[in-house]
Amino acid sequence: MKQFTCVQDIGDLKSALAEAFEIKKNRFKFVELGRNKTLMMIFFNSSLRTRLSTQKAATNLGMNVIVLDINQGAWKLETERGVIMDGDKPEHLLEAIPVMGCYCDIIGIRSFARFESKEFDYQETILNQFIQYSGKPVFSMEAATRHPLQSFADLITIEEYKKTPRPKVVLTWAPHPRPLPQAVPNSFAEWMNATDYDFLITHPEGYELDPQFVDNAKVEYDQMKAFEGADFIYAKSWAAYTGDNYGRVLSTDRNWTVSKRQMDVTNNAFFMHCLPVRRNMIVTDDVIESPQSIVIPEAANREISATVVLKRMLEQIP
C-alpha cells in the first residue's frame, strides 16, 4: 500500500478485517517489520486519539516515530503557489515536504478542511501535495474530506458488536456550537456504503453531504423515524456542505441531541462517536455513559486500524 486516503486504498474489506483481528490477538506479531524504519506524523491540527493510537501502532511494528506539530515550533508554511511570500510565512510547503521526506520512510498527515474555499478543501490540496512531492508512502490522519483510520476502526467495532449479519446503521447529524468539517461523516458513509449493512443518514434539511459520499445510502430527514429499529447509532456534527452555505452552522437545534427519547425507538442500539464529543450537545450524559455506549472500544480500535495500515505500507518498502 503506497497511500491510504480512502476506502478504496484498503482493498477487500473482508481481508482487511481478518488482518485487523489477527493483529488484535497479538499486536506485536510484526514487531520486526518496522526495525530501523521511521514514521513521521505531521499535524496541522490538534489530536488526542490519532496522535496516541498511531504512535502506539508504529511502536507495535518496531518503528521509530517523529512527531511534528506545524503550528508549534515549526516555521509557518505557505501552501498556495504563486504567492509573493512577504508575509508571516517564511517557508513554502513545496520545499518543506521533500525535506521532511528525507528523514523518514512513511508520512502521516492531519490537515482539516479550512472552510475558506470548498475547491481547496475538496481537492485535498495539502494531502495531495504530500503524496506528490514527499517521495514516501503517505496516509491520512484526517484530511479535509475523509478520516479513513477512524472509519476503519468504526468498521472493526461494528463487526465486533453486531448481532445480525446485516445490522441497521444510522449516521445522525447532531448540533454543535462551531462549524465542523464533513470528513468524519463523509468517510463513515463511504466505508458503510462499501459494506452490505442497512445504512441510513439522518440530518436536518440543509445538511446534505456531498453526493459522492452519500452514494446509495438512504437519507431520512425525520430523526425519530430514522432511529426506529437501528442496531448502531453513529452521531457526528458537521457544517453545511451545499452551495453558499459551505462551512456554515445552519442549526443548533438540541432536539437533534441524541438522548434516551431517540434511543428508546432503536433495537437497543449501540451508541458510537469518534470523539472528542461535546456532552449534552451531541449526546446526553446518560446515553454516552450507558452500557450501550461503545465509544471507548471504538477509540481503542484506532490502534488496530493504524497497525494494519502501517504494516501494509512497511511490507511495500524495499
| In the complex, residue closest to ligand CP by CB | 50
Q: Is 240 exposed, middle or buried (0-12, 13-18, 19+ CB in 10 A)?
A: buried
Tell me how far, at minimum, the Cβ of 307 lies from ligand CP, in Å.
16
Which is nearest to 284 in space by CA: 298, 313, 264? 264
Q: Which stretch binds ligand CP (CB under 6 A): 86-94, 166-174, 244-252, 268-276?
A: 268-276
Q: Which stretch binds ligand CP (CB under 6 A): 44-52, 97-105, 170-178, 289-297?
A: 44-52
Which is nearest to 35 in space by CA: 66, 60, 12, 15? 60
Which residues ranging from 106 to 125 are in contact with ligand CP (CB under 6 A)?
none
Residue ranges for the known binding site for N(2)-succinyl-L-ornithine are 142, 176, 236, 278
DSSP 173: E
- Which C-beta is closer to ligand CP: that of 138 or that of 226? 138
| Neighbour-count burial for 201-222, b at 16+ CB within 10 Å, e otherwise | bbbbeebbbbeebbeebeebee
Length of the chain in residues, anyone? 318
* 48 scored as a contact of ligand CP (CB under 6 A): yes
* 275 scored as a contact of ligand CP (CB under 6 A): yes
Q: Residue 2: left if φ>0, alpha if ψ -120 to 50, beta else—which one?
A: alpha
What x-and-dash track marks residues 2-41 binding ligand CP by CB under 6 A? ----------------------------------------
* 56 scored as a contact of ligand CP (CB under 6 A): no
With H, G, I as helix, E, B as strand and everything else as coil, classify residue 113.
Answer: coil
Compute CA 115 distance to the chain's CA centroid, rounded to the nearest angstrom.
Answer: 17
* 150 scored as a contact of ligand CP (CB under 6 A): yes
Tell me how far, at minimum, the Cβ of 301 lies from ligand CP, in Å.
11
Which residues ranging from 65 to 94 are in contact with ligand CP (CB under 6 A)?
none
Tell me how far, at minimum, the Cβ of 22 lies from ligand CP, in Å.
24
Q: Is 308 exposed, middle or buried (0-12, 13-18, 19+ CB in 10 A)?
A: buried
C-alpha cell at 5: 486516503
Rounded to 5, what percent of the chain is helix, strand, coil? 40, 15, 45
Residue ranges for the known binding site for carbamoyl phosphate are 47-50, 75, 110, 147-150, 274-275, 302
Tell me how far, at minimum, the Cβ of 175 lies from ligand CP, in Å.
19
Report how far residue 189's alpha carbon sits from residue 200's, in angstroms, rounded to the nearest whole number. 9
* 142 scored as a contact of ligand CP (CB under 6 A): yes
For 246, half-sphere exposure in the C-beta direction (CA atoms, 13 angstrom radius) is 15
* 296 scored as a contact of ligand CP (CB under 6 A): no
Tell me how far, at minimum, the Cβ of 35 lies from ligand CP, in Å.
27
* 298 scored as a contact of ligand CP (CB under 6 A): no
* 64 scored as a contact of ligand CP (CB under 6 A): no
The only residue of 70, 143, 274, 287 in contact with ligand CP, by rule CB under 6 A: 274
- Which C-beta is closer to ligand CP: that of 187 or that of 226? 187
Q: Which stretch binds ligand CP (CB under 6 A): 7-15, 75-83, 195-203, 272-280?
A: 272-280
Query: How many residues make contact with ligand CP (CB under 6 A)?
Result: 9
Strand 218-220 to strand 198-202: parallel, antiparallel, or no bridges (unpaired)? parallel
Q: 174 CB contacts (<8 Å, ≥6 apart)?
A: 235, 236, 237, 256, 257, 258, 281, 282, 283
Binding residues for ligand CP, rule: CB under 6 A, are 47-50, 142, 150, 274-276
